[in-house]
Amino acid sequence: MIPQAPKGTDDILPPASEKWRTLLRGFEDLARRYGYALTMTPLFEATELFSRGVGEETEVVEKQMYTFADKSDRSLTLRPEATASVVRAYLGAGLQGVFKGYYAGPMFRYEQPQSGRRRQFFQVGVEYLAEPSPDADVEVIEVGYRLLADAGVTGVGVRLNTLGDPADRAAYRDELRSFLRGRAGDLSPDARRRLEGNPLRVLDSKADAEVVADAPAPIDSIGGEAAAHFSGVRAGLDRAGIPYEIAPRLVRGLDYYNRTVFEYVSADYTAAQDALGGGGRYDPLAEMLGGPPVAAVGLAMGVDRIVLAMPDPEPAGPDVFVVLADPQRRAEALGMVGRLREAGLWAEMDLGERSLKAQFKVAGRRSARLVAVVGDEWDEGEVTVRRMADGEESRVAIEEVPAWASR
Ligand code: AMP
């Protein structure tokens, strides 16, 4: 029996992989235009990074981590997210001052797999460190918004909220806890268990949506500075023309957030797992990891889900497919393919020894734009080029083919 890919993982093959390529290239270009530089961190980390950074009592750390002991009995974990790693890297390298990094890669969470919820999934993200201005929040939100717009995802909106500062959050946690205790009879068993340790997690619980709808919201108990920051973020989003709605009970699952939190959803793509990405400000994280305070804001976009919401791309094929009318001229044909590629064109040739008709068939299947026939004309320094859209044929001088095909 052929071994199968592990549950909750995917092989990304053509033609579906074409959407991935479009999205990943688009993301790199976009991140660079906004001034973010490639940042790569290990796929596995000391388990402690996540228990301290993401938070002991979060769903991710409690239930979803791929944790194992290596041969020297160190506890390691496949990264469930990349933000803690980026901050660890920044602190570890002794960096100071503003840092803008982008990353792209797989993350790992032991979840109940379904469409758009995988055990190995792919995130692209940016982290903007050491910049407390609300305009940094706006910039980060804009990057995610543009990514989705450029990918052709329609109906995109931002859900926005503020958690206030850590002291606000502590006060809010107490308030929420007493509210939930008052409704304990209506809560799911999970929520009853959580409400003592980490009541904010109850806000994420679908089973308790009805109770949660009446719960107090963080925004009602935030201090003056956090409120001013939030106004700044809202003003910036208005200026940038990014549509958003306030989602008063959006808290997001990880412990390191303060102030701004946000998620992207698409009205036209309503799967059960509808957040296409999200992020927020996480000023407390550097200190949670034992470093100095470092203001920070970032986002992570779920590529598996975005790809599901993307329109199908226009079918693309080679600029030129070279076919061999005379098997004796194989070397010349290969030389022509090489020159076309050097000229920056997408050129292909069937390397099997197939008939002319069969080669044309392959060219058609590959959606080639032009077919260049290497045959007897070669002796006169020419090839026959056929435009596949309408079948029109022209004789073209060999050295002119790259320029001809670039038109
Ligand atoms: P998070 O790191 O939890 O803030 O998630 C950020 C984004 O990553 C989410 O909005 C999803 O788009 C995506 N994501 C998170 N978990 C998964 C998963 N298990 N499978 C696929 N995408 C995910």
pLDDT tens for residues 343-357? 999 999 999 999 999
Distance between CA atoms of residues 47 and 341, nearest Å: 47
pLDDT at 207 (0 to 100) = 87
Question: What is the model's pTM?
Answer: 0.94
Q: Ligand 1, from 81, 273, 274, 281: best to mutate by most atoms within 8 Å of Cβ?
A: 273
Distance between CA atoms of residues 328 and 376, nearest Å: 10
pLDDT at 181 (0 to 100) = 93
Spans of the chain below 50 pLDDT: none
Residue nearest atom 11 in ligand 1 by C-alpha distance: 302
Say how many Å lie between the first and final Cα of the chain, rounded: 50
pLDDT at 273 (0 to 100) = 59
Q: 300 in ligand 1 pocket by Cβ < 6 Å?
A: yes
Q: β-strands 120-129, 99-108: how paired? A: antiparallel
- Ligand 1 atom at minimum distance from 276 CA: 12
Q: Ligand 1, from 12, 60, 86, 121: best to mutate by most atoms within 8 Å of Cβ?
A: 121
In terms of C-beta density within 10 A (0-12 exposed, 13-18 middle, 19 or more buried), how is residue 100 classed? buried
Q: 109 in ligand 1 pocket by Cβ < 6 Å?
A: yes
Whether residue 33 contacts residue 320, with contact meaning beta carbons closer than 8 Å, is answered with no
pLDDT at 205 (0 to 100) = 83
pLDDT at 9 (0 to 100) = 98
Based on its alpha-carbon atoms, the radius of gyration of the chain, rounded to whole angstroms, reads 27
Q: How far is the CA of 81 from the centre of ligand 1 (A)?
A: 9
Q: How far is the CA of 164 from the centre of ligand 1 (A)?
A: 23
pLDDT at 48 (0 to 100) = 96
